[in-house]
Amino acid sequence: MEQRKSWKVLKESVGYIKRSKLFVQGMPWHCTKIELIGYKTTHPIYLIWHNGLEVIKMIFSNPIFAKVMTYDPHAILWMVSDLLPEGMTILPIMATSNKIPVTSHTGNLEMHPLFLTVGNIQSDVWMKATSHAWSLAAFMPIPKFKVHSKYQTILQARVWHKCMDIMCSNLKVAACTGMYTPDPLRDLHCCFTPLVTYTANLPEQQMIVSVAHSSSPITLARLQEFSDGILHPPQDGKHTLHQLVEISQEVNPWDVNMFQKKCKECGLLGVHLPFWSNWMFSDPAIFLVPELLHTGHKFFFNHPLMWCKEVVRSRELNYVRVWIEPVLYRTRTKVGIPIFCPLCNLFPHAYSYPLENDKPLKAPDQGFSVV
């Protein structure tokens, strides 16, 4: 009798949860087949994606972020808020992606996983991977076309922009007309969703802005102008779209050969319909974040280091470097103390000392020279 009663209570509890809509269901995945008429691929093109708007709603209404969610715009978002009715809430869309291999030696399949989050979450929270503030929104395909190699890049870029347009279509509508969604405390907000940040490496940035590999994705500078010392205008979205319209009036965008030649003359890639072209309040000159990893390092080695070499000469720099005391990191383990040289990991050396050894540590003699 007691066992039957417990089963009855369990069934009633499950029914109550379903009726009260407290039963959590994940967002459905969609699979869309994409074809480019007149162009064959080695494998069919499938876009695996979530509804971008549903992803943002799920993150914005997550109770975990109730104490770290902000609703007032900061910095450049004030320009957007001035164009909206009073009392509206801005959900700044932040995106990031990177090309990764999915399979190796079994087809060499590659994809662009796309992650989304909202800028309302405090930066010290969404920057931590353990906070799970970023949500996987789509797997962007990277097809291989049966065409000449010089047309691969432009066709792949067009497919990528089409996939982004499909996944972000509802976000674009919400950025234009607004949509109602609850916050973590279940208060209803009328929200607008402009794209404010897209983090990617240099090749992806050029694909996003739809510029050629010899052009800067953040300024109008070309390859021969990179070191001229002139501050060039930003790579504004209106300027790019204006050039695309002029070229499209002369050449059919699907005449890939002629269209690509015309675009290269203007420093463009050849994507005639960028996904951000109809996304209100979104401009690549604003949402595209400069890549610090390569940009900062190249700037240092191409400019400050060259200035120092001209002022004090390489021999003096090497002499000063020798007298700089290196910093060594020690990690105590059961086996010993591994010692690592921090000089950019160019010369990894590991020395193991017993735990009872308290003698001073010596750095390796090898180093690098400024030439």
Alpha-carbon distance 171 to 268, whole Å? 26
49 compared with 294, residue with greater pLDDT: 49
3-state per-residue secondary structure call for 220-264 = CCEHHHCCCCCCCCECCHHHHHHHHHHHHHHCCCCCHHHHHHHHH
Alpha-carbon distance 175 to 89, whole Å? 11
135-141 and 352-353 strand pairing? unpaired
* Mean per-residue pLDDT over the chain, rounded: 78
Q: What is the pLDDT of residues 243-287, one digit of tens each?
A: 999 999 999 998 999 999 999 998 899 999 999 999 988 889 889
| DSSP notation for 287-325 | HBPP-HHHHHHHHHHHTHHHHHHHHHHHHHHHHHHHTSP
Three-class DSSP category at 365: coil
Mean pLDDT of 296-305: 76
Q: What is the pLDDT of residues 201-219, one digit of tens each?
A: 888 999 999 999 888 888 8
